[in-house]
A and B are shown apart, each in its own frame.
Chain A
Amino acid sequence: MPTLTATQVEETIVKALSTMGPEPEDITRDATFEALEVDSLDLAELSQIIDDEYGVELTGDDVGRIKTVGDAVDLIVATA
């Protein structure tokens, strides 16, 4: 599997979350899910999308620990 870059993952996350309500311009690395009003249901959807795109399965514990978009990007890149 080719190396996954943080930029690629961030683009995927922005695209995915923007279908769930947040404005794309608000979805930055530092943005917290709380501020974006992204909740556990949204993160469960995001996990499915990440699995589809990259074959990366995030566990509930993993998802429970991440607080920002950047946390998600780093976790996915590290897990891939």
Chain B
Amino acid sequence: MVDVVVTGLGAVTPLGVGARALHERWVAGATGIDGGEAACTEFDPAEVLSAKEVHRADRFTQLALAAAAEALGDADLVDATPYDPGRVGCIIGTGIGGIGTIEGAHTALNERGPAKVPPLAVPLMMSNAAPAAVAMKHRLRGPVFGVVSACAAGAHAIGAAARAVEHGDADVVIAGGSEAALTPLARAAFAAMDATSSTGVSRPFDARRDGFVMGEGAGVLVLERGDRARERGATILGTLRGYGATADAHHLTAPMADGAGAAAAIAAALDDAGLTAEDVDYVNAHGTSTPLNDRAETVALKTALGEHAARVPVSSTKSAIGHLLGAAGAVEAVATVLALRDGIAPPTLGWEEQEDGMDLDYVPGTARPLANRGRKPVAISNSFGFGGHNAVLVLEAA
């Protein structure tokens, strides 16, 4: 059986440019949320992309290009790569795609007529624009496509990439997620359905939570066949041990109250990894800070992990960077790989008040070392999306 290892990481998040910035600042308790939103304020596309690349890419694609370049550099696969381009793929998820482009084009249509809709509207708005752009920039000619499953898209993309490597469709897949939806329409639409926090505070699992805080960004992992990675002397950052995906088939937006769909995905991922609940040392939760998700996820963890759930640290990256929608699962996988590398559970920022029945160890406020169990630590990273999509990754330290 082929093992799938992580050899490169890249991220652009509200905590800064770079996977290490995300990890180090989150662990230190920094927040990327300001004024009720989490924007990538340190990201200047012109610093990392050519003028043509900037012009030909919606912001969600720009973020993905930057994260992918970092990840490929981290994996030492930029210049002298031993791989045939046809053996390298790219799978990047998004929740919405180029919504800023759609809004701009729609304004042009309404205000100036059909003849003034920009010719670049379609190629920039399409949800597969990010993987297409990454493939063109780095000449990747293996399986290249987008994945769309709302806020589970990043995790689904990583899972699909792992399957492509395991099945032999590719030796390397650049996988992740990207989102740039801090736009007037997206803000208004999420607010209209009461999904976003009216107080502008992200405090997952806290009794006072009142919705998610919108964020933007991208996360990318280089997933590689373990034998090939070792052959070329790559630095291995972690192993993607397992992947599980299920659907609630229940409601357009609400999770099942008993978390059954999510629990099934966790169980499937652990089974795929050949591990049991007791092997889990850390849970990187979906933890959106919405009333429904955080309660259902807590129930799901108790169902899937049994009594072990009470002993496992569970924290939410969204407490520090808000909800990156289709990028969330990928950015959180990046954060989880680095947390495992350092043997640390980063904190759930803002958690202070316990809600009845929500009694897991949410790692409030301050990062904490993982228990040393004399082996490589293992984590699960949960992602759930509107539509009832559940995707869970099992990651192991190198």
Contact = CB atoms under 8 A, between A and B. Distances in A.
Contacts, number: 26
Contacts of A19: 51, 55
A48 to B, nearest CB: 7
Interface in A38-71: 41, 44-45, 48, 51-52
A41 B118 CA distance: 10
Contact of A44 (B51, B55, B119): B119
B52 A20 contact: yes
Interface string B46-57: 000011100110
Per DSSP, chain B at the interface is: helix
B123 A41 contact: yes
Interface string A17-43: 011110000000000000001000100
A17 to B, nearest CB: 10
Nearest to A40: B119
A37 B52 contact: yes
A18 B52 CA distance: 9
B120 interface: yes
Contacts of B120: 41, 45
Interface majority SS on A: helix, strand, loop or mixed? helix
Interface string B117-134: 011100100000000000
B51 to A, nearest CB: 5
A19 B54 CA distance: 10
Interface centre among B51, B56, B119, B123 (most CB of A within 10 A): B119
B50 A21 contact: yes
| Interface range on chain B (Cβ under 8 Å from partner) | 10 to 19
A51 to B, nearest CB: 8
Contacts of B51: 18-21
Contacts of A21: 50-52, 55-56
B116 interface: yes
Nearest to B51: A21
Contacts of B55: 19-21
Contacts of B56: 21, 41
Interface string B298-328: 0000000000000000000000000000000
Nearest to A23: B51
Contacts of A37: 52
A19, A41, A51: residue with the most chain B Cβ atoms closer than 10 Å: A41
Contacts of A20: 51-52, 55
Contact of A45 (B50, B52, B115, B119): B119
Contact of B119 (A18, A48, A51, A52): A48
Nearest to B118: A45
Given A48-B116, A52-B116, 14 more contacts: A18-B51, A19-B51, A20-B51, A20-B52, A20-B55, A21-B50, A21-B51, A21-B52, A21-B55, A41-B123, A44-B119, A45-B119, A48-B119, A51-B115
Interface of A: 18-21, 37, 41, 44-45, 48, 51-52
A-B complex: 9 closest residue pairs judged by Cβ atoms = A21-B52, A44-B119, A21-B51, A20-B55, A45-B119, A41-B119, A21-B55, A41-B120, A19-B55
Interface of B: 50-52, 55-56, 115-116, 118-120, 123
12 contacts: A21-B50, A21-B51, A21-B52, A41-B56, A41-B120, A44-B119, A45-B118, A45-B120, A48-B115, A48-B116, A48-B119, A52-B116
